[in-house]
Amino acid sequence: MSQKEPLFSAKNLKLFTEPFNNGNPVTVLVLGICSALAVTVKLQPAIVMGLSVTIVTGFSSFIISLMRNTIPNRIRIIVQLVVVAALVILVDQVLKAYAYEVSKQLSVFVGLIITNCIIMGRIEAFALGNKPFPSLVDGLGNGAAYGMILVIVAFFRELLGSGTLLGFQIIPESWYIKNGGFYENNGLMILPPMALIVLGIIIWVQRSFNKSLVEK
Amino acid sequence: MKALRRYLDKIKPTFSKGGKLGMFHSTFDAFESFMFVPNTVTHKGSHIRDGIDLKRTMSVVVLALMPALLFGMWNTGYQHFMSMGLTEQVSFWQTFWFGFWKVLPIVIVSYVVGLGIEFAFAQSRGHEVNEGFLVTGMLIPLIMPVDVPLWIVALATAFAVIIGKEVFGGTGMNVWNPALLARAFVFFAYPSHISGDKVWIASMIKGEGIIDGFSGATPLAIAANGTGETGANMTVEALQQQMPSVYDMFMGFIPGSIGETSKLAILLGAAILLITGIGSWRIMLATVVGGLGMGYLCNFLAVNPYMELPAYYHLLMGGFAFGAVFMATDPVSASQTNTGKWIYGLLLGIMIVIIRIFNPAYPEGVMLAILLMNTFAPLIDYYVVGANINRRLKRTKVQA
């Protein structure tokens, strides 16, 4: 019988911090790209999406980890899907009840959280072989790291594409050409390709700081 | 010349490895090889080195662009004074200088931003500075509307050089033509500055003294009237009436991007490229054949006046000629094999006419068609090379 580990040991903390750095699900593992393109036009939907995914990843990992010794190996994907789907429906209903406007903006992408590769990836790679608490921490960390990238992309896209942040005007109205200034919003930022380019630049910046990520 | 050479030789050690300013090695090298043919010799194997290296090639292309640039400057002034109804009162030189001072800042901004980024990347990566931007920097102003704000030119140039070229590894590695990428950036990011009737003529967007009945619409914009509901009750003759005459379109007395209007100036440039063997005649010819062929096919199947327009109109409107001569022949982003060049050019001509006629959202199809074909160029080459290998394999089997 091994010694009981403290709840917030260095190992468990590392599970949470690793996704923000060398194990980032979006910029290093390149998972969950589709939704990163779709919901990052504005900051608010991106934050809500990040939170939703964090909750789903965390709790699905936790629940699967609780059941990991009873799930027959051959039908494990079905069981995982049932758990994830149930959580996604819960999140969707909560959003509809308390944040109707945002949930309308996110439209199908809340439902599509179920197909987000990060969730299944964490369950398969971690939760099936680890205890519930580390699984919860790992899931929350990965979801939050995904949310972080979403927020960074959405920050630049909303600021440069609409001149606002969270709906508040940041770039002074008097700068715009229609008010006699020189500035104009960048229409390309609103289009999906620019999300991909911004994401690429984030990956570029991360790799120039962290050479160990560069493939030979 | 001798004095310059001696001076360069004198300061060379300072910039070489271990010298005081060794870190600026690539900058020094760029200037030295710009002024003198480098004295590098191949040491191994038998190679023939031509005196025409990349820098000399680029210089010829820039030279070939000069007629279009000079005419563009004059035409900028001409269109401006025409919109004000003053063409009778101003002299040739007044017209030219007006355009000169409008166009020159765009050229300067494009070169300063682009070369600045090129030098910075070359320094930080320890490479030599690549010459590729010499042509791109001249092409970017020529395909912009004259009234485009300078900060947009700077942003578009930076985007094209960083995302279009440096990310892929610099000159010779880019998938798309960087100049067109800059234009595509402006087109999607700031559509109000590069579409519509008012942006093609200097100061018209500010509403400066426009005489009655002057619209500023480009031939393509007028031709686009020949589709949809307005086109339904119109004959092709009525449409041709609205458009400038064939002579005007050929000579370039029409509104449009700075360098694209005069087909005569572009033909001069094409002659320079073809005589020196720098531009590919296969691509130019194939593009024209593809465009004409698709134009005739549209005549044959015509359901609206735009489709009935004589096929050669497509060569005279918009940037077809400029694109076919200077953009499609870009040796980096076009097909490399000879058969591939024919396929690339033909499809390009066909795509241009298709986008123009069948897509009301984009009156001009040249930019998007070339970018699309650039994307497919490696695929075309791949299959051409594959087919060649298969053909030769078959031949050896018969003999065996």
Distance separating alpha carbons of residues A192 and A164, to the nearest angstrom: 18
Q: Is residue B190 within 8 angstroms of chain A, CB to CB? A: yes
> Residues B158, B291: one domain?
no
Q: Is residue A205 within 8 angstroms of chain B, CB to CB? A: no
Q: Do B191 and A184 touch (CB under 8 A)?
A: no
CA distance A206 to chain B (A): 15
Instruction: Please state the domain count of chain B.
Output: 2
The DSSP call for residue B177 is -
Kindly list the averaged pLDDT for each block of 10 residues, start to end, along chain B of length 400: 74 67 65 65 68 76 91 89 80 88 92 89 76 86 90 92 86 87 91 78 67 73 75 77 85 88 92 89 93 90 82 87 91 90 94 86 85 93 93 79
Q: Do A200 and B190 touch (CB under 8 A)?
A: no
Q: Is residue A198 within 8 angstroms of chain B, CB to CB? A: no
The partner residue sitting opposite A188, judged by closest CB among B167, B189, B193, is B189
Structural domain that includes position B62: 2-37+55-193
Q: Is residue A188 within 8 angstroms of chain B, CB to CB? A: yes
Residues of chain B positioned with their CB less than 8 A from the CB of A214: none
Minimum CA–CA partner of A180 in chain B: B206
Residue B33 within any structural domain of the chain: yes
The dihedral sign for the CA sequence B51, B55, B56, B61? positive
What's the start-to-end Cα distance of chain B, in Å? 62
Distance separating alpha carbons of residues A182 and B137, to the nearest angstrom: 24
| pLDDT for the residue numbered B166 | 85
Residues of chain B positioned with their CB less than 8 A from the CB of A188: 185, 188-189
Q: Which residue has the tokens 């001072």?
A: B101
> Residues B188, B301: one domain?
no
| pLDDT for the residue numbered B204 | 67
> Residues B286, B184: one domain?
no
Q: Give Cβ neighbours of residue A137 (< 8 Å, ≥ 6 apart).
A: A12, A15, A16
Chosen for mutation from B176, B188, B206 (greatest number of chain A CBs closer than 10 Å) is B188
Residue B234 within any structural domain of the chain: no
Q: Do B167 and A184 touch (CB under 8 A)?
A: no
Residue B227 within any structural domain of the chain: no
Residues of chain B positioned with their CB less than 8 A from the CB of A186: 189-190
> Residues B17, B124: one domain?
yes
Residues of chain B positioned with their CB less than 8 A from the CB of A184: 152, 190, 192-193
Domain end among B178, B193, B208: B193
**ipTM score for this prediction:** 0.82
The partner residue sitting opposite A188, judged by closest CB among B167, B185, B193, is B185
Q: Do A188 and B193 touch (CB under 8 A)?
A: no
Best CA proximity match to B286, nearest among B335, B324, B326: B324
Q: Is residue B247 within 8 angstroms of chain A, CB to CB? A: no
| Helical packing angle, B178-189 and B150-164, nearest 10° | 130
How is chain A split into domains, by residue range? Answer: 26-208
The partner residue sitting opposite A182, judged by closest CB among B149, B163, B189, is B149
Q: Do B189 and A187 touch (CB under 8 A)?
A: yes
Q: Is residue B150 within 8 angstroms of chain A, CB to CB? A: no
- CA A200, distance to chain mean position in Å, is 16
Residue B306 within any structural domain of the chain: yes
| pLDDT for the residue numbered B18 | 61
CA distance A157 to chain B (A): 12
SS3 A165: strand
DSSP labels, B249-280: HHHT-S-SSTTTS-HHHHHHHHHHHHHHT-S-
Domain end among B193, B222, B249: B193
| pLDDT for the residue numbered A1 | 40
Residues of chain B positioned with their CB less than 8 A from the CB of A204: 167
Residue B42 within any structural domain of the chain: no
Kindly list the averaged pLDDT for each block of 10 residues, start to end, along chain A of length 216: 66 81 81 81 89 93 92 90 92 90 83 85 89 90 91 91 84 78 82 88 87 75
Residue B160 within any structural domain of the chain: yes
Q: Is residue B124 within 8 angstroms of chain A, CB to CB? A: no
Q: Do A186 and B189 touch (CB under 8 A)?
A: yes
> Residues B171, B309: one domain?
no
Domain end among B144, B178, B193: B193
